[in-house]
């Protein structure tokens, strides 16, 4: 005969079922997005990458609800902007004659992601094994992982956006963040 469950045990099971249900919905959503939203033949131009001028980037940044961050002008590069949705923006610095949409991960990239509390998110990640927290100019909270240092993330106080700075050379990404060069474009 099964022992009767306590309210605490029932609550734990309900919470576990709810958590598993949410996780399943997230997985299904990601699969649907990858299957439907990732179609390169889409006729929606909103998210397509395009070469832009500094002025065009600033104009786009001024139009967005979430600011678009960049690393300023970089010699020998062309600016590529992609806005896959209202809460994400990517500025890549193309070199060597690369065309917009080039799939190689060879370029400095600054991603901006809308977030309700990015400073708290980064501080939480910094408490995980291998997580490193630092400060940068402007009072920014900076996070990177020692075990996976592909990108450096930062968030400014009062700004509801998390910024990712990727460079094939991690040290360069960290230097850009520490120098205060990562700023809003608009």
pLDDT digits (tens, 9 = 90+) for 94-135: 999 999 999 999 999 999 999 999 999 999 999 999 999 999
Residue 93 has pLDDT above 50, yes or no: yes
pLDDT at 9: 44
Q: Give buried/exposed letters for 103-141 (b at 16+ CB in 10 A, else e).
A: eeeebbbbbbbbbeebbebbeebbeeeebeeeebeeebb
- 16 and 75 both lie in a single domain: no
pLDDT at 186: 80
Q: How far apart are CA 25 and CA 113, in angstroms?
A: 21
- 54 and 38 both lie in a single domain: no
- 3 and 54 both lie in a single domain: no
User: What phi and psi values does residue 146 have, to the nearest 5 degrees?
Assistant: -65, -30
Range of the domain at 120: 50-184
| % of the chain beyond a pLDDT of 90 | 70
pLDDT at 13: 40
Residue 22 has pLDDT above 70, yes or no: no
CATH code, domain with 173? 3.40.1000
- Per-residue pLDDT of 130-186, as tens digits, reads 999 999 999 999 999 998 888 999 999 999 999 999 999 999 999 999 999 999 998
Residue 20 has pLDDT above 70, yes or no: no
Domain count, the chain: 2
- 34 and 62 both lie in a single domain: no
- Per-residue pLDDT of 36-73, as tens digits, reads 333 333 323 457 999 999 999 999 999 988 999 999 99
pTM for the structure as a whole: 0.75
pLDDT level of residue 15 (50, 70, 90 thresholds):
very low
Q: What is the DSSP letter of 138?
A: G
- 123 and 99 both lie in a single domain: yes
- 123 and 60 both lie in a single domain: yes
- 34 and 54 both lie in a single domain: no
Q: Which of 107, 123, 126, 106 is nearest to 115 (CA)?
A: 123
- 77 and 15 both lie in a single domain: no
Q: Two tokens at 121?
A: 């998110």
- 73 and 160 both lie in a single domain: yes
Residues 6+ apart with CB under 8 A from 44: none
- 64 and 35 both lie in a single domain: no
- 54 and 87 both lie in a single domain: yes
């Amino acid at each position: 005969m099964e022992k009767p469950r306590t309210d605490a045990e029932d609550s734990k099971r309900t919470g576990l079922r709810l958590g598993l249900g949410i996780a399943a919905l997230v997985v299904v959503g990601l699969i649907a997005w990858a299957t439907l939203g990732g179609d390169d033949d889409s006729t929606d131009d909103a998210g397509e990458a395009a070469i832009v001028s500094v002025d065009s980037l600033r104009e786009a940044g001024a139009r967005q609800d979430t600011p678009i961050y960049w690393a300023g002008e970089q010699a020998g590069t062309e600016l590529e902007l992609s806005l896959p949705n209202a809460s994400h923006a990517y500025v890549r610095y193309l070199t060597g004659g690369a065309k917009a949409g080039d799939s190689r991960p060879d370029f400095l990239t600054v991603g901006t992601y809308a977030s309700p509390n990015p400073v708290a998110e980064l501080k939480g990640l910094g408490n995980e094994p291998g997580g490193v927290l630092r400060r940068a100019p402007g009072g920014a909270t900076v996070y990177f992982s020692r075990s996976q240092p592909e990108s450096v993330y930062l968030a400014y106080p009062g700004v509801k956006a998390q910024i990712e700075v990727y460079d094939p050379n991690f040290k360069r990404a960290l230097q850009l963040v520490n120098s205060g060069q990562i700023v809003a474009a608009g």
